[in-house]
Structure 1
Amino acid sequence: MNPAQDFYEQLRTRQLSLYATSKKEYDRFAIVRLVVILALLVAVVLAFGYSFLAGFLSLPVFVGVSYFLVKKHDSIKRTADRAEIRAALADRELGALNHDFRVFDGGDDLLDPAHPYALDLDIFGPHSLFQFLNRTVTAGGRRSLADALLAPQDQDKRARTQVQGKDLSAMPAWCLEFRMLGEGLNDSLAQQQRLRDWLLRPAVVQSGLDKALLYVIPFLTIGSIAAMLLIDPWFVGLIGLVPAVLLYRKYSAAIATEHAYTSAMGSLLKQYADLLQHADGWSGASADVARSVPAIRKLSYYISQLDVRSNPFAMLVELGGAWSMQWLTNLDGWRETYREELPVWLDTIARVDTLVSWATLRYNHPDWVDPEFTDEPVFQATGLGHPLLNPAGRITNDIDMRTDGHIHLVTGSNMAGKSTWLRTVGINLVLAQAGSPVCALHLRQRPLHVWTSMRTQDDLSESTSSFYAELKRLQSIIRAVSEKDEDVFFLLDEILKGTNSRDRHTGSRALIRQLIRDQGAGIIATHDLELAVLENEPGSRVENYAMEVQTRGDDLVFDYKLHPGVCTSFNATALMARMGIEIPAEEIKLHHD
Structure 2
Amino acid sequence: MIDPKQYYKAQQLEHRNILKVLQKKEFNLFIGRLFLGFSSLSLLIWGFYTKSIGLGLGGVISLLLFIGCVYWYKSNLNKIKQCKQILKAVNNELLYFKGEFTAYNGKDYVSAQHPFTYNIDIFGESSLFHRINRTITQSGSKQLASFLSNVGCGKHDILQRQATLDELEKQHDYLIHHKSIDEIESKKIRFSAENYSSIFNIRTLSFIMSLSLFILISCWGNLFTCLFLGKSLILPIYILASIIFINGIISTFYFQKGNKIILKLKQLISLSESYAPIISLNTAITFKSNTLKEIQSALLLHKKNLKELSTMNEFLGFRNNVILWMVSNTLFLLDVFIFIKFIKWEKKNLSELHDLEDTIGYLDALISLATYNFNHPNAVTPQIVTSGCISGKNIYHPFMTFKEAIGNDFTQEESIITIITGANMSGKSTFLRTIALNIVLANTGCKVCAESFLLNASIKLFTSMRTQDNIVAGKSYFNAEIDRLESAIDYGMKHPSTLFIFDEVLKGTNSEDKLLGSINLLKFFSQKQFMVIIATHDLGVTHLEEEFGSDKYINYCFEIELTTPILYSYTINRGICKNKNASFIVNKMLESKIKMNNDIEEK
Quick check: TM above 0.5?
A: yes
Q: Deviations over 1:341-396 (max 9, x none)?
A: 53454443233322222222222222222222223323211110111114332111
In 2, the alpha carbon distance for the partners of 1:260 and 1:81 equals 25
Aligned AA (2:517): G
State the 1:329 CA deviation: 4.2
| Aligned equivalent of 1:262 | 268
Which deviates more, 524-533 or 354-363?
354-363
Secondary structure of 1:547 counterpart: strand
The partner residue of 2:293 within 285, 290, 306 is 285
**1:207 and 2:202 equivalent?**
yes
Secondary structure of 1:89 counterpart: helix
State the 1:536 CA deviation: 1.2
Which deviates more, 335-344 or 533-542?
335-344
| Aligned equivalent of 1:453 | 464
State the 1:307 CA deviation: 9.3
In 2, the alpha carbon distance for the partners of 1:63 and 1:208 equals 50
In 1, the alpha carbon distance for the partners of 2:533 and 2:401 equals 24
Secondary structure of 1:83 counterpart: helix
The partner residue of 1:512 within 519, 522, 525 is 522
Q: Deviations over 1:517-561 (max 9, x none)?
A: 1111121111111111111113451211111222332x1221211
Q: Does the CA-based 8 Å contact 1:450-1:490 persist in structure 2?
A: yes
Aligned CA distance change for structure 1 residues 50 and 358 (closer, same or farther; 3 Å) = same
In 2, the alpha carbon distance for the partners of 1:298 and 1:55 equals 45
Aligned AA (1:378): C
The partner residue of 1:398 within 402, 409, 417 is 409
Aligned AA (1:243): I
**Identical-pair percentage:** 25
Aligned CA distance change for structure 1 residues 581 and 503 (closer, same or farther; 3 Å) = farther
Q: Does the CA-based 8 Å contact 2:103-2:133 persist in structure 1?
A: yes
Aligned AA (1:134): N
Which deviates more, 62-71 or 472-481?
62-71
In 1, the alpha carbon distance for the partners of 2:517 and 2:444 equals 34
**1:479 and 2:479 equivalent?**
no
Secondary structure of 1:391 counterpart: coil
Secondary structure of 2:163 counterpart: helix
| Aligned equivalent of 2:253 | 246
Aligned CA distance change for structure 1 residues 374 and 209 (closer, same or farther; 3 Å) = closer
Which deviates more, 39-48 or 170-179?
39-48
The partner residue of 1:274 within 250, 267, 280 is 280
Aligned AA (1:244): S
Any residues of structure 2 matched to 1:270-349 within 5 Å, and which? 270-279=276-285, 284-286=292-294, 288=297, 289-300=299-310, 302=312, 328-336=339-347, 338-339=349-350, 341-349=352-360
Q: Deviations over 1:85-109 (max 9, x none)?
A: 222222222332x352411222111
| Aligned equivalent of 1:423 | 433
Aligned CA distance change for structure 1 residues 584 and 69 (closer, same or farther; 3 Å) = closer
Q: Deviations over 1:183-242 (max 9, x none)?
A: 223232x54xx25335x767985535545778979xx9xxxxxxxxxxxxxxxx999854
Q: Deviations over 1:454-507 (max 9, x none)?
A: 111122442222221111111111112123x34110111110101122221121
Aligned CA distance change for structure 1 residues 506 and 281 (closer, same or farther; 3 Å) = closer
Which deviates more, 81-90 or 449-458?
81-90
In 2, the alpha carbon distance for the partners of 1:429 and 1:246 equals 64
Aligned CA distance change for structure 1 residues 308 and 238 (closer, same or farther; 3 Å) = closer
State the 1:338 CA deviation: 3.8
State the 1:449 CA deviation: 0.7
Q: Does the CA-based 8 Å contact 1:372-1:445 persist in structure 2?
A: yes
In 2, the alpha carbon distance for the partners of 1:330 and 1:563 equals 72
Any residues of structure 2 matched to 1:55-134 within 5 Å, and which? 64-96=64-96, 98-134=97-133
**1:184 and 2:194 equivalent?**
no
Aligned CA distance change for structure 1 residues 25 and 565 (closer, same or farther; 3 Å) = same
Which deviates more, 300-309 or 569-578?
300-309
Q: Deviations over 1:148-204 (max 9, x none)?
A: 111122332211110111112222112212222xx223232x54xx25335x76798
Secondary structure of 1:395 counterpart: coil
* Structure 1 gap segments, 5+ residues each: 221-236, 586-593
Q: Does the CA-based 8 Å contact 1:371-1:444 persist in structure 2?
A: yes
State the 1:280 CA deviation: 5.4
| Aligned equivalent of 2:219 | none
Which deviates more, 85-94 or 112-121?
85-94
Which deviates more, 540-549 or 425-434?
540-549
Secondary structure of 2:512 counterpart: helix
Q: Does the CA-based 8 Å contact 2:178-2:278 persist in structure 1?
A: no
Aligned CA distance change for structure 1 residues 99 and 213 (closer, same or farther; 3 Å) = farther
**1:387 and 2:385 equivalent?**
no
The partner residue of 1:531 within 519, 541, 548 is 541
Q: CA RMSD in A?
A: 3.7
Q: Deviations over 1:419-448 (max 9, x none)?
A: 111100000111112212111111112231
Aligned AA (1:548): E
Q: Deviations over 1:114-149 (max 9, x none)?
A: 111111111111111112222222222222221111
Aligned AA (1:197): S
In the superposition, the TM-score normalised over structure 2's length comes to 0.81
| Aligned equivalent of 1:556 | 566
Secondary structure of 2:426 counterpart: coil
Larger Rg: 2
Which deviates more, 556-565 or 571-580?
571-580
In 1, the alpha carbon distance for the partners of 2:505 and 2:406 equals 25
| Aligned equivalent of 1:135 | 134
In 1, the alpha carbon distance for the partners of 2:79 and 2:399 equals 36
Aligned AA (1:265): L
Secondary structure of 1:197 counterpart: coil
In the superposition, the TM-score normalised over structure 1's length comes to 0.83
| Aligned equivalent of 1:589 | none
Q: Does the CA-based 8 Å contact 2:191-2:351 persist in structure 1?
A: no
Aligned AA (2:407): T
| Aligned equivalent of 2:386 | 375
Q: Does the CA-based 8 Å contact 2:318-2:325 persist in structure 1?
A: no
Q: Does the CA-based 8 Å contact 2:155-2:384 persist in structure 1?
A: no
Q: Does the CA-based 8 Å contact 1:49-1:55 persist in structure 2?
A: no
| Aligned equivalent of 1:151 | 150
**1:197 and 2:208 equivalent?**
no
Any residues of structure 2 matched to 1:341-360 within 5 Å, and which? 341-360=352-371
| Aligned equivalent of 1:571 | 581
